[in-house]
Amino acid sequence: MYSSPVVLLQADSPLSSVLQRELENAFDGVQRVRSVDQARQAIAHHRASHAVIDCEISSFREIADLTRDFPATAVICTHRLADELMWAEALNAGAVDIFSPTDARGIISALTRSSAIMGAIAA
């Protein structure tokens, strides 16, 4: 289990609950929030090294602001209908990757990879 906290902003409440449970199996502490402003506050308060942000309720501009303001926080985006254009927009905004919110395995894999990369950079 990774000791770094994760901030989770997901529009669909049932999906959010399932994804939160999956994340809690891999990470110590998942903070579920309801808005980008709450995500920003939770990242700062918990010193979260990861954030999973739903692109259906946040703009790529907001994601770019988060990645700029919290460079030590890896941002993973989710969207039910992600395609190649959306993937490129997410990466251009500074996100690590974009997944369907139902792909918990992919999200966790991307988060753990980003932990390893961030740890190597910090060392």
Our CA dihedral for 43, 45, 48, 53, rounded to 10 degrees, sits at: -20
What 3-state DSSP class applies to 51?
strand
6-9 vs 50-54, strand pairing mode: parallel
Q: Residue 88: enclosing H or E segment and its boundaries?
A: helix 84-92
Q: Give the domain ranges of the chain.
A: 6-122
DSSP-derived secondary structure for 96-116:
SEEE-TT-HHHHHHHHHHHHH
CATH superfamily placement of domain 6-122: Response regulator (3.40.50.2300)
Q: What is the pLDDT along the chain (123 residues), one digit of tens a residue?
A: 567 789 999 987 888 899 999 999 988 889 999 999 999 999 999 999 999 999 999 999 999 999 999 999 999 999 988 688 889 999 999 999 999 999 999 999 999 887 655 554 444
